[in-house]
A and B are shown apart, each in its own frame.
Chain A
């Protein structure tokens, strides 16, 4: 059986656990600065009940809940707590896959040595074991992290159904999905929900199924497929004709609750494919000079993470989002690989110069953008491990490598940004280390 454990309003409940004066109050956990420009990383259940959603702009959330308290995100706290959660989970099974900083899949097998494969009694034993482990994990989380910290757990035969089930009751839910009602009679447990796969699919919407986003949903609705049950009953050729072979088969499986994907333990995860960092500015910026300072720090962060993991990349991308939510993305692939923050920055800077939104409109403060900027981001892909790269040919390049290595060693010993490039000093206090949500293993690294 698979367990999907989803921490309830993770960042917000941790802040409420740490500070009892925040308990029972609507709080919004946001990036550093906590200005109106940032977005809500997590809202407490008290705020969620009043309509606040994750990702909502702070000004929008404050409009809905004027009394909501803004709390600056403390990512070190969240990363360390996730590490502790990992220890709790691994106490029960080695088969643990972190799906994100606040969700994990666990595979639970029957501990009885006399278990017989495909035997109904043995399968019942596995289900009982999964329930026992789930209840124990809930207890351990309360004991080790505090009474305010809760999770919702879905138990099912595969990852897809377990994930849907964990959403079924929040907060502090426990939902067991079984193939049919015959098995249900043999299972009894506390206040959890027991549902059949069929019933679960009757209760959810199409876009509650992981993998069905807005675009796919729109196309499914156009085909007259309005519910998960109808999706499951739609003949495969119709889906393949509309979505192609890969997506057609995938959607058919999603509609039938079929998922063969295994648990991938974090240490077995395939290598990195990209490194990225973005930052939503507390106040909009207008000038290229201001944007460059933020960009330089982001590039240094990306370069540092790449070096820590021993990677270099040769495709560099940069994006800027404006206050009207339009954005520009630029990228370029080079012959040479790099993981030097300054080199990444120089490339990003030149890409931005070429960008269609940048106009050499000289105002008092220098060149300016046509629209105010609210978010800046950088990414590096096309990676290769450093072991596969030759040493630089020229003495000057080797000296730069040496200097970067020395800076890294100082920062390893004394903490990030103990030593940094001069221009970063100006923005260092304003920018926070924010783990990249797209990098599933980031938190594991940070706990090294």
Chain B
């Protein structure tokens, strides 16, 4: 499987354009990764609230970013590259 589990906190540049939230780039281990496409957004139950999962991609890889609205933190969940 070319998916690598990461589960690490990241810094994300996000565009809020009502009603959409679009991650545009994120920093992982000091490296800036541009987001070209937001392919899918879904919610994941996490106890009494939900986390948002953004499936995004660029020409090199697909990433899953998770946003927890209770503490406003972003995580890089996993990376898929060929």
B16-42 Cβ-contact flags toward A at 8 Å (1 or 0): 000000000000000000000101101
Interface residues of B (CB under 8 A from A): 1, 37, 39-40, 42-48, 53, 55, 57, 61-62, 64, 80-82
Whole-angstrom distance from the CB of B42 to the nearest CB of chain A? 4
Contact B47 A18 (CB under 8 A): no
Given contacts A72-B1, A413-B48, 9 further A-B contacts (CB under 8 A): A19-B55, A20-B37, A21-B57, A21-B61, A77-B44, A80-B42, A80-B44, A412-B47, A414-B47
Chain B's closest residue to A80 (CB) is B42
Residue among B48, B55, B80 with the highest chain A CB neighbour number at 10 A: B55
Give the residues in chain A near B62, CB-CB below 8 Å. Answer: 18-21
A19 nearest in chain B by CB position: B62
Bound-state CA distance A20–B40 (Å) is 10
B40 near A17 with CB under 8 A, answer: yes
List residues of chain A with CB within 8 A of the CB of B61: 21
User: Which one of B39, B81, B82 lies within 8 Å of A18 (CB-CB)?
Assistant: B39
A73 to B22, CA, bound (A): 25
Is the beta-carbon distance between B1 and A70 smaller than 8 angstroms? Answer: yes
Q: How many residues of A contact B (CB 8 A)?
A: 22
Task: Give the residues in chain A near B1, CB-CB below 8 Å.
Answer: 34, 70, 72
Structural contact, B48 and A20, CB atoms closer than 8 A = no
* Min C-beta distance of A277 to chain B, whole Å: 17
Whether the Cβ atoms of B47 and A415 lie closer than 8 Å is yes
Of the candidates A14, A20, A146, A415, the one whose C-beta lies within 8 Å of that of B57 is A20
**Residues in A neighbouring B43, C-beta threshold 8 A:** 76, 80
Which of B39, B42, B48 makes the CB contact (< 8 A) with A81? B42
Considering the complex, give the chain B residue whose CB is closest to the CB of A23: B39
Residues of chain A whose beta carbon lies under 8 Å from any beta carbon of chain B: 14, 17-21, 34, 70, 72, 76-77, 80-81, 145-146, 411-415, 418, 446
B82 contacts A21, CB within 8 Å? yes
**A–B pairs, 9, beta carbons within 8 Å:** A19-B39, A19-B55, A20-B57, A20-B62, A21-B80, A21-B82, A34-B1, A80-B42, A146-B39
The answer for the CA separation of A309 and B50 in the assembled complex, in Å, is 20
Note all chain A residues with C-beta closer than 8 A to B53. Answer: 76-77
- Is B42 a contact partner of A76 (Cβ separation < 8 A)? yes
**B42, B47, B48, B80: which contacts A19 (Cβ < 8 A)?**
B80
A145 CA / B40 CA spacing, docked (Å): 7
Chain B residue contacts of A145, Cβ below 8 A? 40
**Bound form: Cα–Cα A432–B47 in Å:** 16
Enumerate chain A residues within 8 angstroms of B40, measured Cβ to Cβ: 14, 17-18, 77, 145-146
> Which residues of chain B are near A411, meaning CB under 8 Å?
47
**Listed residue (A34, A80, A413) with the most chain B CB atoms within 10 angstroms of its CB:** A80
Bound CA span A81–B44, Å: 11
| Bound Cα distance A276, B11 (Å) | 42
Interface centre among A18, A34, A76, A413 (most CB of B within 10 A): A18
By a CB distance below 8 angstroms, the chain B residues around A18 are: 39-40, 55, 62, 64
In the assembled complex, the Cα of A153 lies from the Cα of B73 at a distance in Å of: 40
Contacts of B47 in A (CB 8 A): 411-415, 418
Interface residue from A21, A34, A72, A76 paired with B45 (Cβ < 8 Å): A76
In the bound complex, do residue A76 and residue B55 qualify as a contact, i.e. CB atoms below 8 Å apart? no
Q: Which residues of B contact A70 (CB under 8 A)?
A: 1
Residues of A within 8 A of B39 (CB): 17-20, 146
**Smallest CB gap from A148: residue in B:** B39
Asked whether A415 lies within 8 Å of B55 as measured between CB atoms, the reply is no
Residue among A19, A80, A145, A415 with the highest chain B CB neighbour number at 10 A? A19
Min C-beta distance of B2 to chain A, whole Å: 8
Given the complex of chains A and B, what is the CA–CA distance between A70 and B82 in angstroms?
14
A19 surroundings in chain B (CB, below 8 A): 39, 55, 57, 62, 80
Residues of A within 8 A of B45 (CB): 76, 415, 446
Residues of chain A lying within 8 A (CB to CB) of residue B82: 21
Which single residue of chain B is at the shortest CB-CB distance from A70? B1
A76 surroundings in chain B (CB, below 8 A): 42-45, 53
Q: Which of B40, B57, B62 has the most CB of A within 10 A?
A: B40
- Look across to chain B and name the residue whose beta carbon is closest to the beta carbon of A84: B42
Q: Is the CB of B48 within 8 A of A412?
A: yes
A374→B46 CA distance, assembly (Å): 30
Q: How far is the CA of A412 from the CA of B62 in the complex (A)?
A: 32
Residue of A nearest to B52 (CB): A80
Chain B residues whose CB sits within 8 angstroms of the CB of A418 once the complex forms: 47
